[in-house]
Amino acid sequence: MMKDVLRRSYRLFTAVLFCAGLLSLFSCSKDDDSEPQITDEIELAIRNMSLRQKVGQMFYGRPEMLDTTIHWVISEQLTVDPILAINRNMLALNGNYPVGGIILYAHNIDNELQLKSFVSELKGLNGSPLICIDEEGGRVSRIANNPNFDLPKYESMDSIGKTGDPHNAYECANTIGTYVKGYGFDIDFAPVADVNTNPENVVIGKRAFSDDPQVAAPMVTNYLQGFKDAGIVGCIKHFPGHGDTKNDTHTGYASSEKTWDEMLSCEMVTFKAGIEWGTELIMTAHIAAPNVTGSDVPSTLSPVILQDKLRGELGYNNIIVADAMEMGAITLHYSNAEAAVLAVKAGVDILLGPKSLIEAFEAVVSAVESGDITEERINESVRRILKLKKKIGRFKY
């Protein structure tokens, strides 16, 4: 009798457990269904990254930014020997500051063997940085203008524009892209998409293809295609247009007095063409556009310029990269920390060339931790950056 009772009790107990298990199973399924399954590699990477890793992806700069013993000015006149290879100071700082990109300047380049070795070393840094350069052709050519390199040289983009043949822009970019790719670079911050309408312009000038947007636009898109066919990512600059200014943002305040309608009929012709072509990167200008924004704030820090106009009206969905944040138009009016936070709030994805990596980096991290910037806002930028890295085979998360 006792055995029968125990047997019936055991059966009842196991039945209860079974039902509870089913209930638990269905309950878990409901919870799982309420949260989208993460199947995309990029989304999974973002979920697994720490806040510092995410913020790090948004910082690109000189090798010197990773060595706090080195100080420089915008004229690039270093007070010590230039960095030509990774050193211990860089490795130590990089451990806690996993940057997303490094840009090399003329003083970081000595000869072919050194350049290839340096680029290879840089790619192995924490953050898996993309390696960038300004190699436009003409006077802004960090490699070709080095006497230790035997490479094709171009007089200017203005001279190419004057030929009236966009294929010449393609040929120029494809040639530059081929040797830049050969040295291991990922991104070339070119071409200049500005329309050089102001004869008094001291910073753009012959770097632009033309003073006529209808001439410049096909030059810009053919240049981008030349890079793409060489395996290099291009970047059109400087939004919303640095061609109708008198002053140089490297050294201080500059502005365009045009209205948005006036920009639409001139500067935006080339930028629209680049966007329609599919440019992966657009670089901002630090110029103010008071008749567009109603203020003297630099475009790099303006939600009106970057969110309302570039993303909203022009429909641009790829990466926005700030022009160097160490330039006078920024540093004379904003602290490193303030400028970095304002740029992110305005819509910048990549903070290029911070004057102080530590100050700017920590400011963005603190802004997220305090709730001043949402982590989802950071995720938006990281998503775009990782998408590009995956596209060019540099995704390692």
Q: Which residues are catalytic?
A: 250, 323
Scan for tokens 């160097």, then name that residue: 324
Q: Is 332 in contact with 253 (CB distance < 8 Å)? A: yes
How far is CA 175 from its chain centroid?
23
Residues 296 and 302: their CA atoms lie apart, in Å, by: 10
CB 348 within 8 A of CB 321: yes
Token pair 């130590």 in the structure block, residue:
92
Torsion of CA 277, 226, 157, 182, to 10 degrees: 130
Find, among 302, 222, 230, the residue nearest to 270 by Cα: 222
Cis peptide before 36 (omega within 30 of 0): no
**Exposure string for 209-229, b = 16+ CB within 10 A, e = fewer:** bbbebebbbbbbbbbbbbbbe
**What residue has token string 């390692």?**
396
* Chain centroid to CA 51: 18
Inter-residue contact 226 to 174 (CB < 8 Å): yes
